[in-house]
Structure 1
């Protein structure tokens, strides 16, 4: 009889535990992605974005970085240059060369009129100061004037999205591996394969690299450019966010230096 009572008590205890579980289901896993989207109220019929990320030691020693300012942060190594819309259709119809768009950007619509400086929340201002190179002219203001203002996009939202795209890449194993290779000469094909391990197969020219020259004449990584679909930013860095760049813009040789600060 004692054995029966013991068995009955065990069954009842199990039922109580199961009942408790039924009333307290496990919490769903936290969301791993944030919806990222941008709406361009003006000239919004462009074909793609170029997400331009900087390798800060290489970018700051090149012509665009102009060695950067003395207060340039030494970390993180992967920074944000910009998020550039391609030519809107009216410029294509007017046969404006793509190189003119690259050079002038919104100036083609706004002439020499200076756009008002962007205003950001304190949090975003701090974040941009961490990840955007401290060039001798204000790079954030330049990016806003050349690549954002004529599209009528909200500056806070635009740079928030751009910085989050940068963060998503930096968190990938391929980005961490690249950081570990600072100071080394690497194969471009190896870096591309490592990125594709994280993203999935990429279209031709879905990722391109920009190199500067060291004072010794060695090619050194300065930027990584991703060609993205305007309506698929939330999918980045997965393969369906990418498209093939219409232009060849990769100027890095098959082997190049991943520079570190001071070389």
Structure 2
């Protein structure tokens, strides 16, 4: 009887173990939850996630626009996560171009916004992925695009960096980082991104190019138009929406620049 009980117990234990392994193998990964809530002026229509191609972003009409300590990796960086015009500005007929130019100062006037404070971990991460422009780009982004919405800076920039990391992990982004120094077609890059995201709405992704002194258009930024309540689904297509404005200034083909050696 003892031998039979031992055998039965062993079979049950093996069954439970196999069942647990099978369940673990079939369980889909749970995506990290990413969301933001704006306590103030939160009735805007969309976010623009602005990512940078660092060698192009740091190259403007007058040459290098970044500091000497600009990291050479990663190539894909973070510019910002921009809320569109809140409804009270739309009702007041404030032009969208004025919102783009002035941002939170429309609410705060000449009052200076507090300097953002971050944990050491996030501060180091932002130093890695945000371009080292001659003025502090992170402080600028906070003052212009975050502070008047009442969002806490640590949470906001943590979400923005996670969205950047999600795109950078896609095969299309990995392929892009293997092509510095080559000329690519905008339509081909769009197709590669859509192979990862699914079909996107018109102007769901747009590109910004700079023109350095040599005169050739170079990739500087990639802009994604996202639903405010769907950030956790990025980079899947249902997180996107069509941008109300045409903001793509790149020609049909452009250079994916590399760092000057």
Instruction: Specify if TM > 0.5.
Output: yes
Q: In terms of Rg, which structure is larger?
A: 1
SS at match of 1:130: helix
SS at match of 2:228: coil
Aligned partners of 1:262, 1:78: CA distance in 2, in Å?
16
Aligned length: 252
Residue 16 of structure 2: which of 20, 23, 41 is its match? Answer: 23
Equivalent position of 1:236 in the other structure: 234
Equivalent position of 2:91 in the other structure: 93
**Gap regions ≥5 residues in structure 2:** none
Structure 1 segments of 4+ aligned residues over 4 angstroms from their partners? 15-18, 63-66
Q: Confirm or deny: 8 A CA contact 1:235 1:241 kept in the other structure.
A: yes
Deviations 1:103-130 (A, max 9, x none): 0000000011110000011100000000
When the two chains are superposed, the root-mean-square deviation of aligned CA atoms in Å is 1.9
Q: Confirm or deny: 8 A CA contact 1:118 1:141 kept in the other structure.
A: yes
Deviations 1:176-199 (A, max 9, x none): 000011110000000000000000
Output the TM-score relative to the length of structure 2: 0.92
Aligned partners of 2:188, 2:16: CA distance in 1, in Å?
51
SS at match of 2:115: coil
Aligned partners of 2:138, 2:251: CA distance in 1, in Å?
29
**Gap regions ≥5 residues in structure 1:** 1-8
SS at match of 1:51: strand
Deviations 1:52-74 (A, max 9, x none): 00000000012699520111000
Aligned partners of 2:171, 2:63: CA distance in 1, in Å?
27
